[in-house]
Structure 1
Amino acid sequence: MTAPATIDSQDLSDRLGSASPPRILDVRTPGEFETVHIAGAYNVPLDLLREHRDEIIGHLDEDVVLVCRSGQRASQAEETLRAAGLDNVHILDGGITAWEAKGFAVRRGAQRWDLERQVRLVAGSIVLTSVLGSLAAPKLKWVAAAIGGGLTFASLTNTCAMGMALSKLPYNRGVTCDAQTVVAQLISSSADQKAK
């Protein structure tokens, strides 16, 4: 397998101003996307992309740049798309975090916590509660051990079961987070590009 093709923020900005700009797919949750995103990006959450990849890639004929918070979910999305035969895929190096740090424009909405911060809050709260609770019920320490093991496994496999579970909560979902809406947006923008 070849290494993922990355693109830095400046190169992406330059390409967005070209005659044939790439399609930006933001694979974060709708809540994270609503908080901040690159103008013109399409929100295609990672779990939705995995479930409907064949339907989605049928509408991706230009270069595609995958964006997430820092690059982890974009890397997983890149693997999914390449496994389905899409070769024109790039990952925004450093994700939306790097894009903002370089001073490039973003669209902002209602402020929400990003998924990685939510995972740290939930995991930390469970560990703290179970350690403190183990003073009264010693077996609770194994809950903390299980969370520690889960986080270690998540790091080694570059996956996060807790993150995937949290992404399904209403807080992280949006009303337009379904395959038909995403495909309709992709079709509409393809028609607009061809009309230009």
Structure 2
Amino acid sequence: LNTKPPEAVGTLLVVPFAHPQGCRTYLVADPVSKQALALDVHLDLVDDVAERARSEGWKLPYVVDTHTHADHPSGAGTLADRFHSTRIAHELAQHVGVTRHPSDGEILHLGDQPVTVRHARGHTPDHIVLVTDKALFSGDTIHIGGVARTDFLGGDAGQLFDSVHRLLADLADETVLFPGHDYQGRGQSTLGQEKQTNPWLAISDRDDFVRELTANPPPRPANMDDLLRLNREGIDIPDTVSAEEAVRLVEAGGASSVIDVRTGAEFDAEHVPGARLVPLDKLAQRADEVRATAAPRLLLCRTGSRAAIAKKTLAALHVSGLTVVDGGIEAFRNAGGETEKGRDRMSLERQVRILAGALSLLGVGLGAFVHPGFLALAAFISAGLVFAGVTDWCGMGLLLAKAPWNQSSSENAENAAAAPAACAASAPTAGCAASVPSSGKVIT
């Protein structure tokens, strides 16, 4: 949650929200009328945006999506429902639930303050940007040091060139740039600064721009087709997903969205190739790693029980887009899903059964031969097993998960390598950013 005071940009106030995926969400408010709009709300950030708007005493007449997002789930519908806001997107987006489709040059009013909508084709045909007296909220047109990619969703590099240069011609160099993404932890720039340092803006010939932009497109965002369907149709991500559907998602390129919440030892024994290991007992410390993956995020364990607990834990940490793989990795394998197997390790559930049985036998033996009071141990273990069966929560299992033999020998190295990607990914590998042009040199 961004707790910094709102930044005054011209006559309006701006509160930015940064997501580990590199996405940017904004609240833009008029301090006099206390009317605000929310822009490009990531589903994970809905609670943060709502809490901040309420804490500032802002009404929220508008919730805006600059375009159909392909790399993350939109929270526009969820936030608009909470505040009874008007949802805004271009008519070409065809989003279910959008009630206002502004044309180029149409003005939204926050109190007496105008916010101008500009149609900016290029990244997508439905793309719009918002212009205030001192700021440009550029969505996926101009990024800090880059521009948007145009190789999917009907994007057009020539149209992006036209849109970018129209904005540069119409707006002053002092205009503050608030992009829809930044993958290197930067918050804002100015158009004047971008003219000096952005290699894409240095290309003045349209044909050269198109040739450079289309030459080496980055990889497609994970789960893109499913995210487009979710964002257009306003469908909620289900609480559970069948093993067959999980196999389809993984085979379509979504393996990086599989969050395996088993122990490291179980992961070493068998796992989905490309899955991320985040053990159940470490979820709170590593929630940002989950946020950095693309939704829908598939929570996986052996049978589905621990994944259900993980979903509740992550939801309490405002992580959304979660779905539990029904039946766990066993069902996934039986449904034809690919898994990698290593050295066979004893499952956590089996360890619980062995330890519970051993402690019960110990209690009975000590009760018979030492003192009857030891029978309470057997009774306590039995009661614990009943409790675990009723509540689907097993304290013994959580304790065993921390045991040294249940850790993965590769977990620390793997996660150390993966962590920087959340905030420091370079533009060439970013979901919606174009690669650096071969002829461009960034001036710093």
Q: Same fold (TM over 0.5)?
A: yes
Q: Could you tell me how far 1:70 is from its partner in structure 2? A: 0.5
Match of 1:71 in 2: 304
Code of the residue aligned with 2:305 in structure 1: it is Q
Q: Which structure 1 segments of 5+ residues have no match? A: none
Moved more, 68-77 or 158-167: 158-167
Q: Could you tell me how far 1:10 is from its partner in structure 2? A: 1.8
CA RMSD, Structure 1 to Structure 2 (Å): 2.8
Alignment partners' CA distance in 2, 1:4 and 1:122: 35
Code of the residue aligned with 1:47 in structure 2: it is D
Residues 134-184 of structure 1 show CA distances to partners (whole Å, capped at 9, x for unaligned) of: 221222211101111222222333221111111111110123445x95374
TM-score calculated relative to the size of structure 2: 0.40
* Residue 173 (structure 1) aligned to one of 391, 394, 407: 407
CA 22–141 in structure 1, closer or farther in 2 if over 3 Å, else same? same
Code of the residue aligned with 1:149 in structure 2: it is A
Match of 1:30 in 2: 264
Alignment partners' CA distance in 2, 1:48 and 1:97: 23
Task: Report which of the two has the higher share of strand.
Answer: 2
Alignment partners' CA distance in 1, 2:375 and 2:318: 46
Match of 2:321 in 1: 88
Listed as ranges, the matches of 1:28-177 within 5 Å are 28-53=262-287, 55-137=288-370, 138-177=372-411
Residues 47-67 of structure 1 show CA distances to partners (whole Å, capped at 9, x for unaligned) of: 1113332x3244134321000
Task: Report which of the two has the higher share of helix.
Answer: 1
CA 20–150 in structure 1, closer or farther in 2 if over 3 Å, else same? closer
Code of the residue aligned with 1:165 in structure 2: it is L
Q: Which has the higher contact order (CA 8 A, sep 6+)?
A: 1
Residues 122-141 of structure 1 show CA distances to partners (whole Å, capped at 9, x for unaligned) of: 00011112212322122221
Asked if the contact 1:15–1:22 (Cα under 8 Å) also holds between the matched residues in 2, the reply is no
Alignment partners' CA distance in 1, 2:356 and 2:268: 24
Asked if the contact 1:38–1:106 (Cα under 8 Å) also holds between the matched residues in 2, the reply is yes
SS in 2 for 1:50: coil
Asked if the contact 1:8–1:93 (Cα under 8 Å) also holds between the matched residues in 2, the reply is yes
Q: Which structure 2 segments of 5+ residues have no match? A: 1-235, 436-444
Alignment partners' CA distance in 1, 2:321 and 2:419: 16
TM-score calculated relative to the size of structure 1: 0.85
Moved more, 116-125 or 87-96: 87-96
Q: Could you tell me how far 1:188 is from its partner in structure 2? A: 4.1
Q: Could you tell me how far 1:89 is from its partner in structure 2? A: 0.9
Asked if the contact 2:257–2:297 (Cα under 8 Å) also holds between the matched residues in 1, the reply is yes
SS in 2 for 1:18: helix
SS in 1 for 2:284: helix
Alignment partners' CA distance in 2, 1:149 and 1:88: 35
Asked if the contact 1:27–1:43 (Cα under 8 Å) also holds between the matched residues in 2, the reply is yes
2:14 is the alignment partner of 1:14: no
Q: How many residues were matched structurally?
A: 193
Alignment partners' CA distance in 1, 2:253 and 2:284: 30
Moved more, 33-42 or 14-23: 14-23
Residues 14-71 of structure 1 show CA distances to partners (whole Å, capped at 9, x for unaligned) of: 2223266660000000000001111111111001113332x32441343210000101
Larger radius of gyration: 2
